[in-house]
Amino acid sequence: MTRSSTLKQRLYTIIFEAETPGGKAFDVILLLLILASVATVSLESVAELRQEHLRLFLALEWSFTIIFTVEYILRIYSTPRPFKYIFSFFGLVDLLSIIPTYLSLFILGTQYLLVVRVLRLLRIARIFKMTRFINEGQQLSSALKASLTKIAVFLGTVITLVIIIGSLMYIIEGEASGFTSIPTSVYWAIVTLTTVGYGDIAPVTALGQVLASFVMIMGYGIIAVPTGIVTVEMSRSDKKMAGTRTCPNCHEEGHPAEANYCYNCGYALQAPERA
């Protein structure tokens, strides 16, 4: 094994794994840097603080960006499948967390998009070995995926309903009551059906109020439907003990310590290091 490949493997273990002392230390430091960078961006948006400490904010912002840029490059360098990482969820998040600072050189205000770095905190469960939370998160993700078709059908039904209800309300109330068009009436139907109720448009006729009452009552039942769909799918999902190990081939996370191969692509996992 060449020195270069040994270095890559060592970097991969530190950067992508959370089971080792070095990997955990790296992730904890990274977590603190992310929190500090998000706090810096948030404080910079306060006009009084920005005027008094503009240079400090700029220095901190660029320091964090340079650190995260180096980290991003090291992730690409150390992984066996660079493009797999680049186009993975966390790979895209890592990239988006550094782009706004460079864009701010050409487009003012884009540095505030750096708050996207808060998405990197999703690694917190992996860092602190919160396998229970990882497991529950995987269950929820699986349930949502399994529910997509049913939810899509449900949303299609709801859209049909609000169009019909909006059209009826436009006919019943008319422009004199504020229902100036069918799109405006559909907007009212959506606001009412979802029980938001802004109150900017309201029916004044008796028939319109009866229809509105029906829509309000129906809204409570409709809100419960997607919740029930996801709940059923969650109850069907198998509960598997998750871990924090990452596949070097497809970057799938959640492998338990005793796993030898990736459950997603079948790639051989690196043996976990012990302290």
Boundaries of domain holding 86: 3-129
CATH number at residue 198: 1.10.287.70
CATH code at position 50: 1.20.120.350
Residues 32 and 125 in one domain: yes
Residues 125 and 15 in one domain: yes
- pLDDT confidence tier of residue 192, bands split at 50, 70 and 90: very high
| pLDDT bucket at 253, cuts 50 / 70 / 90 | low
- Predicted pLDDT at 69: 95
Catalogue the long-range contacts made by 141-149 (C-beta closer than 8 Å, 24 or more residues apart): 142/233, 142/237, 143/230, 143/233, 143/234, 143/236, 143/237, 144/230, 144/233, 146/233, 146/236, 146/237, 147/226, 147/229, 147/230, 147/233
Same domain, 153 and 92: no
- Strand-pairing partners, residue 246, are 253
The predicted structure's pLDDT at residue 123:
66
Out of 67, 95, 129, pick the residue that ends a domain: 129
Q: What are phi and psi of 159, to 5 degrees?
A: -60, -40
How far is 170 from 179, CA to CA, in rounded Å? 6
Q: Are 188 and 74 within one domain?
A: no
Residues 6 or more apart whose CB falls under 8 angstroms from that of 250 comprise: 81, 84, 262, 264, 265, 267
Decide if 14 is inside a domain: yes
Domain membership flag for residue 180 = yes
Please tell me the predicted confidence (pLDDT) of residue 244.
Answer: 58
Supply the mean pLDDT for the chain: 82
Q: How many CB atoms lie within 10 A of CB 186?
A: 20
The gap between the terminal CA atoms of the chain, to the nearest Å, is 23
Residue 113 lies in a domain: yes
Q: Are residues 44 and 63 in the same domain?
A: yes
The DSSP-derived string for 193-214 is: HTT----SS---SHHHHHHHHH
Q: Which residue has the higher pLDDT, 227 or 34?
A: 34
Q: How does residue 25 score in pLDDT terms, banded at 50, 70 and 90?
A: confident
Asked, for residue 58, whether it belongs to a domain, the answer is yes
- Rounded Cα–Cα distance for residues 195 and 21 (Å): 50
Instruction: Assign 241 a pLDDT band (cuts: 50, 70, 90).
Output: very low
| Element holding 27 (H helix, E strand) | helix 21-44
pLDDT interval class at 227 (50, 70, 90) = confident
Would 44 be classed as within a structural domain?
yes
Last residue of a domain, one of 94, 129, 164: 129
What torsion do the CA atoms of 249, 253, 259, 264 make, to the nearest 10 degrees?
-60
Positive or negative CA dihedral for 274, 76, 35, 123? negative
Q: What's the number of domains the chain is made of?
A: 2
d(CA 159, CA 247): 42
Same domain flag for 13 and 102: yes
Do 103 and 187 belong to one domain? no
Read off the pTM: 0.59
Choose one of 85, 104, 129: the last residue of a domain: 129
Q: Are residue 209 and residue 105 in the same domain, yes or no?
A: no
If one compares 237 and 91, the residue with the highest pLDDT of the two is 91
- Together in a domain, 87 and 141: no
